[in-house]
Amino acid sequence: MSGAVPGRTPRLRTKPWPETWVAAAFVAPAALVILLVVLVPLLRALWMSLFDISLVRPGVEPFVGLRNYIEQLTSGDFWGATGRALFFTVTSTALELSLGLGLALLMDQPLRFRWLLRSIVILPWALPTIVNALMWRWIDNAEYGALNAVLTQTGLLHDYQPWLSNSDLAMWMVVLADVWKMTPFVAILLLAALQSVDRELIQVAMVDGASSRQAFRLILLPLITPVIMIVLILRTMEAFKVFDIVWIMTGGGPANATQTVAIYAYQTAYQGFDFGRGAALGYIIAVVIMALAAIYLRLLGRTGR
Amino acid sequence: MTNHSTRRRSGTRLVALLAIGALAVAACGGSTPSTGGPVTLNALFMKQAAYSEADVKKMSDAFTAANPNITVKAEYVGYDALHDKIVTDQVGGSGSYDIVLMDTPWPAEFVKAGIVTDITDKIPADFKSGVFDSAWTAAAYQGKYYGVPWINDSKFFFFNKKMLADAGITTAPKTWDDVVAAATAIKAKGTVKFPIVASWKQAEAVICDWTQLAGVMGGATFIDDQGKATFNTGGGLAALTFMKKLLDDGLVNPASLGFGEDDVNNTMSAGQAAMALNWTYGYAVMNDPAQSKVSGQVEVVASPGKGSVATSGVNGGMSMAVTKSSKHPDEALKFALWMASQKSQEMDTTLAFPMWKASFEDTAVTKANPAFFAAAKVQFAGLVARPVVPYYTKLSNALQVAIQTALQGKSTPEQALNDVAAKLADLQK
């Protein structure tokens, strides 16, 4: 419309910046912020992890090399906490995935009140973790909690159980609270995956004589596997470094039965004033999570093909 | 040409704008230590036992009325978050509080970490002579003062008079043997399944109860002068063995291993337990008709004794410390001294006792609850303190786990405490 000659762009008076420069200029402010708030503390923590830094000994911070790491990797306390974090990760992720898949399949069906079901299901996830943890602490309370009331009144249980005060039960109660909150998140992601599957594929398979179970196992499941893998990565990483829900519900007790590795690191740094060891612990947790993510991503690359 | 000059002009404008912005930021900072000008003090308080938010507000409003140039901004956190919040705030570099509450075992850590200020020379003489000796534990370290004592508290023995009477017991238990006898009778009667409830969750609360019991069962010196462990013998071991026996005999509610002080109040208030140890504030809560089913039935006496020791209580005092990061240390100290003054402390004694000896002799003050004042006067004379050592929090965490491991039956009391003693050297590092 402007009457420019087709095929020839109008010449600019000054030479434009190369495109990569422009891109860099746009990204620069954000990159600078990330550098300051992420990279600097990250490097500082790495530096700190090589020193014996105790706040109650200001000024005396000898270089100890990898001693903080070696001490942790050879300490029973560390492995105990890591074992508990892994237990929490495996049980909560497995339960969330299986329940989430069930819920997603249900919400995918052409039910009459599907919209209502979907809105209700999302509610637990909408609660802040702190609120969820406080709520479950009340529900699990041994003397005036709803769980004991429901179970004894329905005759499923004879006596009140001290759910959070028993070291064999406490971790399961924390897992339950986490599953209640995070299953909707898993369900919604899987529902989205299910909805992107071409229905005709299923119909064709059924016409060819596949049972609905076969159609699910051989067609639907492989198609949504990439999303399952992503959910697994997200949940595993989150679960391994779990802190808040445990801290509010049990504070790591009773007798350290729910002390996960993140709580152990927090206690070491902020309660034990031992920032060198605390920083080393932080790095060990980060490495474990990165290793988990790498394994999953490799698997994902394989399944995504 | 025109284009060029416009650009340059806008550049100049930008520089000017930045300069103004920088000036404004500097002005807002207002960090110059002022004398006489308006000052804002940030104070960190506790939201749990002892003085309520309303009490603190009443005292601090009186202060600001008398000192109109000083504004006090108070923040409240739960006890279990208090220590870590102070550490993160002060060591993290922001240092936003001028004044913080310091618990009895913390002065060593806080002094070593450079969080609190030495105020030894600034404490008025009437404070030194007028305040209970035990209240100074929360303020002192190696002969110097780093805080103004503010809360004077200990765990008292609460019992449901009606439940005891129904089981045929008409006098208040004086010793732990009396308590066991009363609990056994109540359990036999079937009034409640577990007659005693306790705050034995994995937190400082369990250490307080254990210390208090150790005080009457052989002494609560947990670390000797050479830094060697003594908590695994004598009083510490006897107290833990006693706690375990109470659980084994079904006299203490097993849920106690997950309970804090508020859960104890709630369980007593619901009429689900007959006896408990708790801080001063428990009396008001358990007897408040709005939140208690058994209001009017709960009485309080000095903590029971054992053998030749009549009573003992854990020192639950807290002091107000001026932080090293404070830009207004003089005003902060002035505020602390006001809050701790006899007048402020006598404003409302429902939730916390004054720490002034004279208050206990003044009938105008004690008439609020003469029996409780009498019990407190006896108990305050013989308080036992948790060890004031720089590695206290690490030690406390390790002991909490050991005590709970023994109480859950996963280890014997002796073994559990010996395990902590064995790694004491590592904790002291």
* Domain shared by B169 and B48, yes or no: no
Query: Does residue B341 lie within any of the structural domains?
Result: yes
% of chain A beyond a pLDDT of 90: 64
Dist. CA A109–CA B425, nearest whole Å: 63
Query: Does residue A46 lie within any of the structural domains?
Result: no
Q: Quick one: tokens of A287?
A: 């490495």
CA torsion through residues A54, A59, A60, A64, sign: positive
Mean pLDDT of B187-211: 95
Q: What is the CATH number of the domain that holds A248?
A: 1.10.3720.10
Give me the domain span that covers residue A226.
80-304
Residue A144 near chain B (CB below 8 Å): yes
* Domain shared by B347 and B418, yes or no: no
Q: Name the closest residue on chain B to residue A277, using Cα atoms.
A: B429
Please answer whether residues B391 and B368 qualify as being in contact, where contact means their C-beta atoms are separated by less than 8 angstroms: no
Q: What is the DSSP string of B113-130?
A: TT-B---GGGS-HHHHHH
Q: Which of B39, B76, B79, B74 is nearest to B60 (CA)?
A: B74
Q: Which of B71, B86, B9 is nearest to B320 (CA)?
A: B86
Residue A152 near chain B (CB below 8 Å): no
pLDDT for the residue numbered B418: 97
Please answer whether residues A236 and A296 qualify as being in contact, where contact means their C-beta atoms are separated by less than 8 angstroms: yes
How many structural domains comprise chain A? Answer: 1
> Sorting pLDDT into bands at 50, 70 and 90, what band is A273?
confident
Q: Quick one: tokens of A100?
A: 């989430």
Residue type, A264: Y
Interface probe, candidates B110, B253, B257, chain A, greatest A C-beta count within 10 A: B257
> Sorting pLDDT into bands at 50, 70 and 90, what band is B359?
very high
Residue A140 has pLDDT above 80, yes or no: yes
> Considering CB atoms only, which of B108, B253, B393 is closest to A272?
B393
Dist. CA A142–CA A5, nearest whole Å: 83
pLDDT for the residue numbered B6: 42
User: Is the peptide bond between A254 and the residue preceding it cis, with omega within 30 degrees of 0?
Assistant: yes
Tell me if B113 and A55 make a contact (CB, 8 A cut-off).
yes
Mean pLDDT of A113-135: 91
Query: Does residue A155 lie within any of the structural domains?
Result: yes
Rounded to the nearest integer, the mean pLDDT of chain A is 89
Q: Quick one: tokens of B55?
A: 């009490």
Mean pLDDT of A8-37: 82
Residue A85 has pLDDT above 90, yes or no: yes
* Domain shared by B163 and B234, yes or no: yes
Q: Which residues contact A57 (CB under 8 A, 6 or more apart)?
A: B112
pLDDT for the residue numbered B70: 94
* Domain shared by B229 and B305, yes or no: yes
pLDDT for the residue numbered A8: 54
Q: CA of B92 to nearest chain A CA: how many angstroms apart? A: 10
Q: Look up residue B275 and give its DSSP letter.
A: E
* Domain shared by B193 and B307, yes or no: yes
Query: Does residue B229 lie within any of the structural domains?
Result: yes
Q: Which residues contact B299 (CB under 8 A, 6 or more apart)?
A: B158, B159, B161, B172, B371
Rounded to the nearest integer, the mean pLDDT of chain B is 89
Q: Quick one: tokens of B148?
A: 């103004």
* Domain shared by B104 and B237, yes or no: no
| Element containing residue B328 per DSSP (H, E) | none
* Domain shared by B405 and B338, yes or no: no
pLDDT for the residue numbered A303: 62
Query: Does residue A227 lie within any of the structural domains?
Result: yes
Query: Does residue A91 lie within any of the structural domains?
Result: yes
Give me the domain span that covers residue B146.
39-153+316-370
Q: CA of B256 to nearest chain A CA: how many angstroms apart? A: 7
Query: Does residue B85 lie within any of the structural domains?
Result: yes
% of chain B beyond a pLDDT of 90: 73
Dist. CA B60–CA B73, nearest whole Å: 9
β-partners of residue B196 are B252, B275
> Sorting pLDDT into bands at 50, 70 and 90, what band is B35?
low
In B16-75, the residues whose Cβ lies within 8 Å of chain A are none
pLDDT for the residue numbered A13: 60
Q: Look up residue B298 and give its DSSP letter.
A: E
* Domain shared by B277 and B408, yes or no: yes
Query: Does residue A212 lie within any of the structural domains?
Result: yes
Mean pLDDT of B401-410: 96
> Sorting pLDDT into bands at 50, 70 and 90, what band is A27?
very high
Please answer whether residues B347 and B59 qualify as being in contact, where contact means their C-beta atoms are separated by less than 8 angstroms: yes
Q: Which residues contact B62 (CB under 8 A, 6 or more apart)?
A: B338, B344, B347
Dist. CA A41–CA A43, nearest whole Å: 5
Tell me if A55 and B394 make a contact (CB, 8 A cut-off).
no
Query: Does residue A242 lie within any of the structural domains?
Result: yes
Q: How many Cβ atoms are within 10 Å of B62's Cβ, its own excluded?
A: 16
> Sorting pLDDT into bands at 50, 70 and 90, what band is B8?
very low
Interface probe, candidates A75, A152, A165, A270, chain B, greatest B C-beta count within 10 A: A165
Residue B397 near chain A (CB below 8 Å): yes
> Considering CB atoms only, which of A250, A251, A273 is closest to B109?
A273
* Domain shared by B295 and B323, yes or no: no
Q: Name the closest residue on chain B to residue A268, using Cα atoms.
A: B394
Mean pLDDT of B285-314: 94
Q: Which residues contact A213 (CB under 8 A, 6 or more apart)?
A: none
How many structural domains comprise chain B? Answer: 2
Tell me if A54 and B393 make a contact (CB, 8 A cut-off).
no
pLDDT for the residue numbered A114: 85
Please answer whether residues B292 and B285 qualify as being in contact, where contact means their C-beta atoms are separated by less than 8 angstroms: yes
Q: What is the CATH number of the domain that holds B261?
A: 3.40.190.10
Dist. CA B119–CA B324, nearest whole Å: 11
Distances (CA, A) of A172 to A92, A140, A168, B59, B179: 9, 11, 8, 45, 35
Dist. CA A278–CA A276, nearest whole Å: 5
Query: Does residue A65 lie within any of the structural domains?
Result: no
Instruction: State the pTM of this model.
Output: 0.84
Dist. CA B41–CA B331, nearest whole Å: 8
Mark out the alpha helices in B131-224 (DSSP H runs).
161-166, 176-189, 204-216
Residue A253 near chain B (CB below 8 Å): yes
Dist. CA B298–CA B265, nearest whole Å: 11
Query: Does residue A265 lie within any of the structural domains?
Result: yes
pLDDT for the residue numbered B28: 39
Mean pLDDT of A215-241: 91
Distances (CA, A) of A164 to A38, A251, A283, B21: 36, 10, 30, 53
Tell me if B113 and A273 make a contact (CB, 8 A cut-off).
yes
* Domain shared by B360 and B342, yes or no: yes
Mean pLDDT of B304-308: 93
Q: Give counts: helices (H), strands (E), chain B.
A: 18, 13
For residue B391, the SS3 value is coil
* Domain shared by B237 and B281, yes or no: yes
Q: Which of B252, B250, B172 is nearest to B206 (CA)?
A: B252
pLDDT for the residue numbered B18: 41
Residue B403 has pLDDT above 70, yes or no: yes
Dist. CA B272–CA A162, nearest whole Å: 14
pLDDT for the residue numbered A12: 55
Q: CA of A266 to nearest chain B CA: how many angstroms apart? A: 10
For residue B281, the SS3 value is helix
Torsion over CA of A178, A242, A264 and B263, rounded to 10 degrees? -30
Tell me if A165 and B400 make a contact (CB, 8 A cut-off).
no
pLDDT for the residue numbered A199: 86
Q: What is the DSSP string of chain A?
A: ---PPTT-PPPPSSPPPPHHHHHHHHHHHHHHHHIIIIIHHHHHHHHHTTB--BTTSTT---B-TTHHHHHHHT-HHHHHHHHHHHHHHHHHHHHHHHHHHHHHHHHHS--TTHHHHHHHHHHHHHS-HHHHHHHHHHHT-TTT-HHHHHHHHTTS-SS---TTTSTTTHHHHHHHHHHHHHHHHHHHHHHHHHHTS-HHHHHHHHHTT--HHHHIIIIIHHHHHHHHHHHHHHHHHHHHT--HHHHHHTTT-STTTT--HHHHHHIIIIIT-BHHHHHHHHHHHHHHHHHHHHHHHHHHHHHH-
Instruction: For B50-99, write each residue's pLDDT tens digit.
Output: 788 888 998 889 999 999 999 999 999 988 889 989 988 887 667 899 99
Dist. CA B415–CA B406, nearest whole Å: 8
Q: Quick one: tokens of B155?
A: 């765990």
> Sorting pLDDT into bands at 50, 70 and 90, what band is B29?
very low
Beta strands B144-145; B39-46: pairing state: unpaired
ipTM, two decimals: 0.80
* Residues in chain A within 8 Å Cβ distance of B88: 270
Q: Which of B188, B254, B235 is nearest to A160 (CA)?
A: B254
> Sorting pLDDT into bands at 50, 70 and 90, what band is B220?
confident
% of chain B beyond a pLDDT of 70: 91
pLDDT for the residue numbered B185: 97
Dist. CA B159–CA B283, nearest whole Å: 10
Query: Does residue B21 lie within any of the structural domains?
Result: no
* Domain shared by B297 and B221, yes or no: yes
> Considering CB atoms only, which of B87, B272, B400 is closest to A143?
B272
> Considering CB atoms only, which of A142, A270, A273 is closest to B255?
A142
Q: CA of B58 to nearest chain A CA: how many angstroms apart? A: 30
